Amino acid sequence: MSSSVLIDFFHLLATVAWIGGMIYNAAIFPGLLGAVEPPQRGRVMGAMAKRFTIMSWLSVLILLVTGILKTPSSMLFDTMSSYGLILTVKHVMIILMIIFGLMITFVFAPKLRRYIPSPGSGPAPEFIAAQNGIKIFSSLNTLLGLGVLFCVALLHG
């Protein structure tokens, strides 16, 4: 088995884990929370967020390493061919996804933890703002992830 097959395999696996996890979190997970008693929902969401964050950043690391190994240096940010242009658009979307992920991880999530309401009290405006920030940037990341997959389809089509 060649190293390029292994590189492709790990690149695809990391893609499935990251983007597939985003789709799961957006489409499936919210419906599952309805089966959890309201007082436990925060704990379930926190556990899911922690695991997904670890998996996401590990996937990003694998994608960066395998992506660099897969991409000929002459194709990095080459906009002279349609292939190079699509690849550049894909790379820009991935950079945006990483930036949005950094904002979720290091800006909104810490605020969410800092302003978590105590039992019996309502959420502070800062808590709601952090929740909304996570929702917005998670949704944007999911859409960008779908865009990345569409670019890959164009590159292989």
pLDDT of residue 73: 77
64-68, 114-118, 128-132, 143-147: least confidently modelled range: 114-118
Q: How confident is the model at residue 120 (pLDDT cuts 50, 70, 90)?
A: confident
Task: Tell me if residue 124 falls in helix, strand or coil.
Answer: coil
pLDDT in tens, 29-73: 888 888 888 778 788 888 899 999 999 999 999 999 999 999 887
Q: How many CB atoms lie within 10 A of CB 97?
A: 25
pLDDT of residue 121: 82
Q: How confident is the model at residue 94 (pLDDT cuts 50, 70, 90)?
A: very high
Q: How many CB atoms lie within 10 A of CB 14?
A: 22
pLDDT of residue 155: 93
pLDDT of residue 106: 96
Cα–Cα distance between 60 and 45 in angstroms, integer?
Answer: 22
- Please state the pTM of the whole predicted model: 0.90
Q: How confident is the model at residue 7 (pLDDT cuts 50, 70, 90)?
A: very high
Cα–Cα distance between 110 and 24 in angstroms, integer?
Answer: 23
Instruction: Judge contact between 144 and 93, C-beta under 8 A.
Output: yes
Burial of 145 (0-12, 13-18, 19+ CB in 10 A): buried
| Selected residue with higher pLDDT from 122 and 58 | 58
Report which DSSP code applies to 116: P
pLDDT of residue 30: 86
